Chain A
Amino acid sequence: MRSIARARVTQVWIFLSSITVGSWMLGATHEGSGIAPNAAVTAGILALAAIKVRCIIHYFMEVRTAPEWLRVFTDYWLQVLMSAILLIYLY
Chain B
Amino acid sequence: MTHEPKLEPRRRAAVKSGTPPPGCYLSGDTGMWVFVLGDLVIFGVYFIVFMVLRAGDPRSFLSSQRHLDLTMGALNTLVLLTSSWLVALAVQSVRTGEIRRATGLVYGAGGCGLLFLLIKAEEWHTMIGHGFTLTHNDFFMFYYMLTGAHLLHVLIGILVLALFRGEIRDPRLRRMSVVEATATYWHMVDLLWVVIFALLYVMR
A59 partner residues in chain B, CB cutoff 8 A = 88
Check A20–B74 contact: CB distance below 8 A. Answer: yes
Check A28–B48 contact: CB distance below 8 A. Answer: no
On whether A53 and B27 interact (CB within 8 A), knowing A24-B70, A77-B40, A84-B51, the answer reads no
A9 to B19, CA, bound (A): 10
> Could you mark each residue 16-40 of chain A with 1 if its beta carbon is under 8 Å from any beta carbon of chain B, else 0?
1100110110111011000111100
Chain B interface, number of residues (Cβ within 8 angstroms): 54
Closest B residue to A39 using CB positions:
B204
User: What are 30 inter-chain pairs, A to B, with CB distance below 8 A?
Assistant: A4-B89, A9-B89, A10-B89, A13-B84, A17-B78, A20-B81, A21-B78, A27-B202, A35-B59, A36-B204, A37-B58, A37-B59, A37-B204, A41-B203, A45-B204, A52-B194, A53-B191, A56-B190, A60-B187, A61-B27, A61-B183, A61-B184, A65-B21, A65-B25, A77-B40, A84-B51, A85-B199, A88-B55, A89-B54, A91-B55
Give me the interface of B with A, judged by CB distance under 8 Å: 19-27, 33, 37, 40-41, 44, 47-48, 51-52, 54-55, 58-59, 62-63, 66, 70-71, 74, 77-78, 81-82, 84-85, 87-89, 92, 180, 183-184, 187-188, 190-191, 194-195, 197-199, 201-204
The 7 closest A-B pairs by CB, nearest first: A13-B85, A49-B198, A24-B74, A62-B27, A27-B202, A38-B204, A65-B20
Give me the interface of A with B, judged by CB distance under 8 Å: 4, 7-10, 12-13, 16-17, 20-21, 23-24, 26-28, 30-31, 35-38, 41-42, 45-46, 48-49, 52-53, 56-57, 59-68, 70, 73-74, 77, 80-81, 84-85, 88-89, 91
